[in-house]
Chain A
Amino acid sequence: MRTSATGATGQRWKHEANQAGNRPSPSGDSPAPGSSQRIAYGRCVSVPTSVAQPTRREPLHPVPDNRPISPATGDATAPSVRSRLSLSDRNWNSDRPQQIPCWLASLLLHMLAVVVLGSVTVPVSRQRTIMSLLLSFGDVTAQQDEPLVELASTQSLTEEPPNEQELGAQGFEEIEAAPLSQMAASLVPPLPQEHTAEPVPDQPLASAAGGSPGTAPPNTATRGQTDATHGEANQEHTVAVADRQDDEVERQNNQIVDQFIRFDIGQLNGQAGIKARDDFQKLGPRALAALVRGLNKSASIRASCPVMVITYKIESVLRENHDPALLQYAVENIGRDVPLRAPHFAHIQNLVEKLRLRDPENSSPNVTMILAQLQQGQQQQVLNAAEVVMTGGDKFLEFEKRQVAWALIRYITHRDPKLRRAARQALVTLADGTDLGPTHDQKQADRLEAAAKWSLHFDADRFEAAAEGLLKTARHLEDAGKRTAARRYFTKVVDEYRGTAAADEAADLLEEQKAFALK
Chain B
Amino acid sequence: MRALVRFLGFAALMSIAGAVYIRGIDESESHEAASPGSDIPDTAAPPALVGRVWAGSRAVAGARVRLKGHAPFALTDSDGRFELHDRPQAGDTVTAAKEGYLIAGLAASAQPLEIHLFPLATSDCERYEWLDPTPNPSSVGACGNCHQAIYEEWRASGHARSAVNRRFQNLLDGSDWQGRAGHGWGLATEYPEGIGVCWSCHAPSLNANAESFDLRQVEGVAAAGVHCDFCHKIRDTSVEQAGLTHGFFAYELMRPAEGQLFFGPLDDVDRGEDAYSHLQSESRICAACHEGTVFGVPVYTTWSEWLASPAAREGRQCQNCHMTPSGTLTNVAPGSGGIERDPASLGTHSFLPAGREAMLRRAVDVSFAGRRKEEAVDVSITLVLHDVGHRLPTGFIDRHLLLIVEPVDHAGEPATVSSGLRLPAAAGNDLAGKPGQLFAKLLTDADGRAPAPFWRAGVSITDSRLQPDRPESFTFRFSPATERVRVRIVYRRFWQEVADSKQWPEDEIVVCDRWFVLP
Residues on A close to B: CB < 8 A?
263-266, 268-271, 273-274, 277, 280-281, 301-305, 307-309, 311-313, 316, 343-344, 346-347, 350, 378-380, 383-384, 386-387, 416-418, 421-422
> Are A303 and B244 neighbours in the complex by a CB distance under 8 Å?
yes
Q: How far is the CB of B147 from chain A (nearest CB, A)?
A: 22
Residue of A302, A308, A416 touching B197 (CB-CB under 8 A) = A308
> Are A380 and B127 neighbours in the complex by a CB distance under 8 Å?
yes
Contact with A along B415-442 (1 / 0, CB 8 A): 0000000000000000000000000000
Task: Verify if B141 is at the interface (C-beta below 8 Å from A).
Answer: no
- State in angstroms the CA–CA spacing of A467 and B220 once bound together: 43
> Are A302 and B296 neighbours in the complex by a CB distance under 8 Å?
no
Residue of B195, B249, B297 touching A312 (CB-CB under 8 A) = B195
Q: How far is the CB of A422 from chain B (nearest CB, A)?
A: 7
10 A/B residue pairs, CB under 8 Å, sorted by A: A269-B461, A280-B193, A302-B241, A303-B241, A303-B245, A304-B200, A305-B294, A308-B213, A343-B245, A383-B209
* Inter-chain contacts of B459 with A (CB < 8 A): 270-271, 274
Q: How far is the CB of B385 from chain A (nearest CB, A)?
A: 25
> Are B250 and A313 neighbours in the complex by a CB distance under 8 Å?
no
Task: Verify if B8 is at the interface (C-beta below 8 Å from A).
Answer: no
Residue of A nearest to B197 (CB): A308
Known contacts A273-B458, A302-B244, A347-B209, A265 near B293 by CB under 8 Å: yes
Task: Verify if B246 is at the interface (C-beta below 8 Å from A).
Answer: yes
Q: How far is the CB of B230 from chain A (nearest CB, A)?
A: 16
Residue of A344, A380, A417 touching B220 (CB-CB under 8 A) = A417
Known contacts A270-B460, A350-B209, A304 near B249 by CB under 8 Å: yes
Known contacts A305-B244, A346-B208, A416 near B129 by CB under 8 Å: yes
Contact with A along B277-315 (1 / 0, CB 8 A): 000000000000000011111100000000000000000
> Are A269 and B249 neighbours in the complex by a CB distance under 8 Å?
no
- State in angstroms the CA–CA spacing of A256 and B247 once bound together: 27
Task: Verify if B192 is at the interface (C-beta below 8 Å from A).
Answer: yes
Known contacts A270-B459, A344-B249, A418-B220, A305 near B295 by CB under 8 Å: yes
Residue of A nearest to B220 (CB): A418
- State in angstroms the CA–CA spacing of A266 and B244 once bound together: 9
Q: How far is the CB of B485 from chain A (nearest CB, A)?
A: 39
> Are B296 and A263 neighbours in the complex by a CB distance under 8 Å?
yes
Contact with A along B115-134 (1 / 0, CB 8 A): 00000000000110100000
* Inter-chain contacts of B126 with A (CB < 8 A): 346, 380
Query: Which 10 A-B residue pairings sit nearest by Cβ, starting from the closest?
Result: A304-B246, A347-B208, A343-B249, A308-B196, A387-B211, A266-B293, A350-B209, A274-B458, A346-B208, A302-B245
Residue of B nearest to A261 (CB): B296
Residue of A273, A307, A311, A312 touching B192 (CB-CB under 8 A) = A312
Residue of A nearest to B194 (CB): A309
> Are A386 and B245 neighbours in the complex by a CB distance under 8 Å?
no
Residue of A nearest to B221 (CB): A418
> Are A269 and B200 neighbours in the complex by a CB distance under 8 Å?
no
> Are A304 and B197 neighbours in the complex by a CB distance under 8 Å?
yes
* Inter-chain contacts of B129 with A (CB < 8 A): 379, 416
> Are A269 and B458 neighbours in the complex by a CB distance under 8 Å?
yes
> Are A305 and B246 neighbours in the complex by a CB distance under 8 Å?
yes
Residue of A nearest to B211 (CB): A387
Residue of B nearest to A273 (CB): B458
Task: Verify if B446 is at the interface (C-beta below 8 Å from A).
Answer: yes
- Looking at chain B, what size class is its interface with the partner chain? 35 or more
Q: How far is the CB of B42 from chain A (nearest CB, A)?
A: 44
From residue 179 to 237 of chain B, which have CB atoms closer than 8 A to chain A? 192-197, 200, 208-209, 211-213, 219-220
> Are A350 and B296 neighbours in the complex by a CB distance under 8 Å?
no
Contact with A along B240-270 (1 / 0, CB 8 A): 0101111101100000000000000000000
* Inter-chain contacts of B243 with A (CB < 8 A): 266
- State in angstroms the CA–CA spacing of A185 and B129 once bound together: 40
* Inter-chain contacts of B193 with A (CB < 8 A): 280-281, 309, 312-313, 316
From residue 61 to 107 of chain B, which have CB atoms closer than 8 A to chain A? none
> Are A350 and B208 neighbours in the complex by a CB distance under 8 Å?
yes
- State in angstroms the CA–CA spacing of A307 and B208 once bound together: 11
Known contacts A346-B126, A417-B220, A418-B220, A380 near B209 by CB under 8 Å: yes
Residue of A nearest to B219 (CB): A421
- State in angstroms the CA–CA spacing of A281 and B194 once bound together: 11
Residue of A nearest to B243 (CB): A266
Residue of A nearest to B138 (CB): A442
> Are A344 and B208 neighbours in the complex by a CB distance under 8 Å?
yes
- State in angstroms the CA–CA spacing of A309 and B219 once bound together: 22
Residue of A264, A304, A418, A421 touching B245 (CB-CB under 8 A) = A304
* Inter-chain contacts of B212 with A (CB < 8 A): 387
Q: How far is the CB of B250 from chain A (nearest CB, A)?
A: 6
- State in angstroms the CA–CA spacing of A418 and B207 once bound together: 14
Residue of A nearest to B198 (CB): A308
* Inter-chain contacts of A350 with B (CB < 8 A): 208-209
- State in angstroms the CA–CA spacing of A271 and B197 once bound together: 23
Most buried by B among A266, A274, A343: A343
- State in angstroms the CA–CA spacing of A263 and B195 once bound together: 17
* Inter-chain contacts of A313 with B (CB < 8 A): 193
Q: How far is the CB of A500 from chain B (nearest CB, A)?
A: 37
Residue of B nearest to A388 (CB): B211
* Inter-chain contacts of A277 with B (CB < 8 A): 295-296, 458
Q: How far is the CB of B290 from chain A (nearest CB, A)?
A: 14
Residue of A nearest to B126 (CB): A346
Q: How far is the CB of B380 from chain A (nearest CB, A)?
A: 35
Residue of A nearest to B213 (CB): A308
Residue of A nearest to B461 (CB): A269
> Are B249 and A268 neighbours in the complex by a CB distance under 8 Å?
no
- State in angstroms the CA–CA spacing of A268 and B457 once bound together: 12
* Inter-chain contacts of A263 with B (CB < 8 A): 295-296, 458
> Are A346 and B211 neighbours in the complex by a CB distance under 8 Å?
no
- State in angstroms the CA–CA spacing of A265 and B297 once bound together: 8
Known contacts A308-B196, A309-B193, A417-B220, A270 near B245 by CB under 8 Å: no
Contact with A along B433-475 (1 / 0, CB 8 A): 0000000000000100000000000111100000000000000
Residue of B197, B296, B298, B461 touching A268 (CB-CB under 8 A) = B296
* Inter-chain contacts of B293 with A (CB < 8 A): 265-266, 305
Q: How far is the CB of B474 from chain A (nearest CB, A)?
A: 28
* Inter-chain contacts of B295 with A (CB < 8 A): 263-264, 277, 305, 309
* Inter-chain contacts of A301 with B (CB < 8 A): 244
Residue of A nearest to B212 (CB): A387
Residue of B nearest to A344 (CB): B249
Most buried by B among A312, A386, A387, A416: A312
- State in angstroms the CA–CA spacing of A454 and B355 once bound together: 51
- State in angstroms the CA–CA spacing of A317 and B126 once bound together: 28
Beyond the given A263-B458, A269-B461, A304-B245, please list 13 additional residue pairs across the A-B interface where CB-CB is below 8 A: A263-B296, A270-B459, A271-B458, A273-B296, A302-B249, A303-B241, A304-B244, A309-B194, A311-B213, A312-B195, A344-B208, A380-B126, A416-B129
Residue of B nearest to A354 (CB): B211
Q: How far is the CB of B515 from chain A (nearest CB, A)?
A: 43
Residue of A nearest to B127 (CB): A379
* Inter-chain contacts of A268 with B (CB < 8 A): 296
Residue of A274, A308, A343, A421 touching B446 (CB-CB under 8 A) = A274
- State in angstroms the CA–CA spacing of A361 and B459 once bound together: 44
* Inter-chain contacts of A266 with B (CB < 8 A): 243, 293, 296-298
- State in angstroms the CA–CA spacing of A416 and B129 once bound together: 9
* Inter-chain contacts of A343 with B (CB < 8 A): 245, 249-250
Q: How far is the CB of A347 from chain B (nearest CB, A)?
A: 4
Residue of B209, B219, B246, B461 touching A346 (CB-CB under 8 A) = B209
* Inter-chain contacts of B200 with A (CB < 8 A): 304, 308
From residue 299 to 338 of chain B, which have CB atoms closer than 8 A to chain A? none
Residue of B nearest to A267 (CB): B296
Residue of A303, A312, A387 touching B196 (CB-CB under 8 A) = A312
* Inter-chain contacts of B127 with A (CB < 8 A): 378-380
Known contacts A277-B296, A302-B241, A304-B249, A311 near B209 by CB under 8 Å: no
